[in-house]
Amino acid sequence: MSDNQIDTILSQLTFNGDGLVPAIAQQFDTGEVLMMAWMNADAVRETIKTGRVCYWSRSRQALWRKGESSGQTQSLTEFRWDCDTDTILVQVDQIGVACHTGRRNCFYMALRDGEVTEIADVITDPDELYSK
């Protein structure tokens, strides 16, 4: 896509006061919600241009090319946004695992039967990883 086309998309998104928009990542074929992070305009541009998901790290104040060091990248399968234009949904093909703890997704804390429960284990069996 050309920079002009990406500018058109950027003009349709509503960034917050910090220039960021939340982005939900969902595994394209299973529907699993993998994580939520933030994108600035540069991260959106890079994600669309390269087809590799890139966030903005609020702690490092730098582009966060997901998987750059770990190899656990997210290939973009579809870029969506919502009715209010202030939330992005990226459908992705996750390599390995999404969560830095080694779990497939970040949402492994749950309330079950009135108790706080860890509902997912760290993946140790390579067969349980996403596309390898």
Q: Which residues contact 79 (CB under 8 A, 6 or more apart)?
A: 9, 47, 48, 88, 90, 91
Residue 32 binds its own copies, judged by CB under 8 A: yes
> Beta-strand (E) ranges in 1-119?
21-27, 33-39, 54-57, 62-65, 74-81, 88-94, 109-112, 115-118
Q: CB pairs under 8 A, 24+ apart, for 53-56?
A: 53/23, 53/25, 53/90, 53/92, 55/23, 56/20
Closer CB to its own copies, 62 or 83, in the complex = 83
Closer CB to its own copies, 28 or 63, in the complex = 28
Instruction: Give the nearest distance from C-beta 28 to its own copies in angstroms.
Output: 11
Instruction: Give the nearest distance from C-beta 9 to its own copies in angstroms.
Output: 6
Q: x/- site string to its own copies, residues 74 to 113, per CB under 8 A?
A: ----xxxxxxxx-x-x---------xxx-x--xxxxxxx-
Q: Give the closest residue to 19 by CA, choosing from 45, 38, 42, 40.
A: 40
Instruction: Give the nearest distance from C-beta 85 to its own copies in angstroms.
Output: 8
Instruction: Give the nearest distance from C-beta 7 to its own copies in angstroms.
Output: 12
Residues that bind its own copies (CB under 8 A): 1, 5, 8-9, 12, 22, 24, 26, 30-33, 35-36, 48, 78-85, 87, 89, 99-101, 103, 106-112, 114, 116, 119
